[in-house]
Structures are given as C-alpha cells and as structure tokens.
Amino acid sequence: MNIDLDNKTIEKLQAVAALQNTSVSNLLRVYADEQETYWRELKEDTETLEAMKNGDYITQEEMFSKLDRLATQAENIE
C-alpha cells in the first residue's frame, strides 16, 4: 500500500513518533487500531440505543434476576 502524504504531515508524524520513542509505522498501526475500536464500539452503542428506543431491552430488575440465576447455577457447579 502506498500512502501519499505531504512533507508537513510526514514531519509531524516523525515528530510524534520520536516523542513516543516509536516508529511512524507503529504510530500509525496503533492509531488505526484505536480508530477501528472506537468506530466499532460507536456503531454497537448506536445500534443498542436504537434497539432500546424500539423497546428491545430488558429492565434492570430482569437483569438482576438473570444474574442471580447465573450465580446460583455457578455455585451448584462446584
């Protein structure tokens, strides 16, 4: 892959990489990973909020009840 960057951007990337004691490649790899995580989680959160708006959720009481049942099951496994 070839990325076309102007000299000013390249200099900025090199300066930031030097400050972090890493390479520009690693700096960009970490940034890409963080962005992928951010946008994936934002998408998931948005979908969750839409589902909640449409009434597709369980109440806090239902969740506590479910967690209690799971805890009881886990205790009985031992």
| The total number of structural domains that make up the chain | 1
On whether residue 2 sits in a domain, the answer given is: no
Confidence at 39, pLDDT banded by 50, 70, 90: very high
Between residues 77 and 71, the one the model is more confident about: 71
On whether residue 24 sits in a domain, the answer given is: yes
Given a cut of 70, is residue 32 above it in pLDDT?
yes
DSSP state of 55: T
Given a cut of 70, is residue 78 above it in pLDDT?
no
**Residues contacting residue 25 through CB under 8 Å, at least 6 positions apart:** none
Question: What is the residue range of 13's domain?
Answer: 7-77
User: What are the E-state strand segments in 1-78?
Assistant: none
On whether residue 27 sits in a domain, the answer given is: yes
